[in-house]
Chains A and B, each alone.
Chain A
Amino acid sequence: MLQIACPYCGVRDEEEFRFGGESHVARPAFEASDLEWSDYLFNRINPKGIHYERWLHVYGCARWFNMARDTVTHDVLAVYPMGEPRPLLDAGAQAPGPPPADAERTPEDREPA
């Protein structure tokens, strides 16, 4: 189960969302050839690794947003609004993990009792 942080509603379960496929697909000019047009309509990068994709929070705010997700680990690496350029991520990017367990925190991290 993916936990997706909707930029408008916060973290929700995957079942509230609808996957919208690859993001940042540029529509070609009106004079495009059949080959360019079919490339736009059908061909996809379908990467093994970081995928920049669109999601719709269909059972929530009903708004679209972009997400960078690793298609092998399913880690959600970044969430950003529609229209923004894709964030630059390295191939080995890690998901922002949970906060460290108490034992691993330094004394300064601990909240006062």
Chain B
Amino acid sequence: MKKYSFLSLLGGAMTGHRRWRPVWRNPEPRPAYDVVIVGAGGHGLATAYYLARKHGIRNVAVLEKGWLGGGNTGRNTQVSRSNYFWPQSAAFYEHALKLYEGLGEELGFNIMLSQRGILTLAHSRQELESLRRWANAIQVNRIDSELMTPAQIKKRVPLINLGARYPIHGGFIQHRGGISRHDAVAWGYARAADGLGVDIIQQCEVTDFMQDGGRLAGVHTTRGAIGADRVVLSVAGHSSVMAAKLGLRLPISSMALQAMVSEPIKPCLDTTVLSSSVHMYVSQSVRGELVIGGGADVYTSYAQRGGLPAMHDTVTALVELFPAFSRLRLMRQWAGIVDITPDTTPIMGKTPIEGLYLNCGWGTGGYKAIPAGGDTMAYTVAHDEPHPLIRAFGLDRFERGALIDEGAAAGVAH
């Protein structure tokens, strides 16, 4: 793997940027691998990377039906945070945020992490009380969070309208939260995994599974059969469809979650502002575009496009909170299919089918979890037992009634 440095960039510039080589191979699939990962999104690629780097398992293929990072990894709003209520979630997402903090250096690829904070608003005295409880729980989990008064919020976010239809009574901020470049995360992991010998095979859709007496033996794909000792499903919104091929039912609903960007403008918003009451969050990307998200569309969908009502609600809330943004034009709008669980907590780990591992149920918040999702899934696959951080996230929690209700920490109600 070529190491990027100031000198390599200078060298590239001196030769007119004509000598850059592709940073990953496009290999033909081999007949069999130790581990096959279905889905080359952030989680799948990170799982492959940590399998190769931490556990020495390099005979790994990542199969992708489209192009790598083209699903939800390329469709999210690139927010990272660890302001979760329950200890199990807090420990997991804090692990993810800490990995993000060192990820650019580890992968040798600038993921453009900008820890500009994430500010959650309260629009009533009652909501402020629950935010206070939430912020305190975060501190008890030894993660930074700070309550803010309306005056402090106005100072931090001068364009905000404190006297909106639902006035702002306060909020809390996690200063270490922030945004990063989502494509860079996928590309960085892909490049590093490829450098360690992982085969990333794009345009290769898994159509069915091979079973050998109750144990998974491999996958059938549009490019032929591929044998595998262990298979990791990391396919987000399509988890139910893939699991159904094995007769496995999942507690997942696939919904369309939209996001949109405005035309680029000069820097005017240096944090991420989120309101779970009016269902809107916004940040400004390094290109100057406002990146806007909201609640998911209200019905199940596999269409990768959002409906007008959800978009309308989101934008209405935005212009009420930031009247100055009302004249901006939206440049792009898109949707990803997210896999929502009943308790808004992911489903990770082993399954009733030997050799099959699940990494799904991320719902509307998979991006922030990518490094920890990959790290803990790699451990789980290598040791054939769940990583301590994800023991509570197993599929068996629904049978035991041990749900982890993070509906509030999902940020925006879905």
Contact = CB atoms under 8 A, between A and B. Distances in A.
Interface string A45-70: 11110010100000000000000010
Interface string B375-414: 0000000000000000000000011110000000000000
B399 to A, nearest CB: 4
A51 B399 contact: no
A46 B298 contact: no
A21 B253 contact: yes
5 contacts: A2-B307, A42-B251, A44-B250, A47-B241, A71-B301
A11 interface: no
A35 interface: yes
B302 A72 contact: yes
Interface residues of A, number: 26
Given A51-B300, A72-B302, A38 B238 contact: no
A57 B310 CA distance: 18
Q: Please name the 4 residue pairs, one residue from A and one from B, whose CB atoms are nearest each other, closest first.
A: A42-B251, A46-B240, A43-B249, A19-B299
Nearest to B249: A43
Given A19-B298, A48-B238, A41 B398 contact: yes
Interface in B346-394: none
A1 B250 CA distance: 28
Contacts of A43: 249-251, 398
A46 B309 contact: no
B66 to A, nearest CB: 15
B288 interface: no
Interface of A: 1-2, 14-15, 18-19, 21, 34-35, 38-39, 41-48, 51, 53, 69, 71-74
Given A15-B309, A21-B253, A46 B300 contact: yes
Interface string B222-262: 00000000000000001011001000011111100000000
B300 A53 contact: yes
A72 B335 CA distance: 13
A45 B240 contact: yes
B238 A42 contact: no
Nearest to B400: A34
Interface in B180-201: none
B301 A44 contact: no
A1 B398 contact: no
A69 B240 CA distance: 17
A19 B301 CA distance: 12
A55 B254 CA distance: 17
B104 interface: no
B251 A48 contact: no
Contact of A35 (B244, B253, B301, B399): B399
A48 B309 contact: no
B29 interface: no
A18 B240 CA distance: 23
B254 A46 contact: yes
Q: Which of A38, A46, A51 has the most CB of B within 10 A?
A: A46
Q: Which of A38, A53, A73 has the most CB of B within 10 A?
A: A38
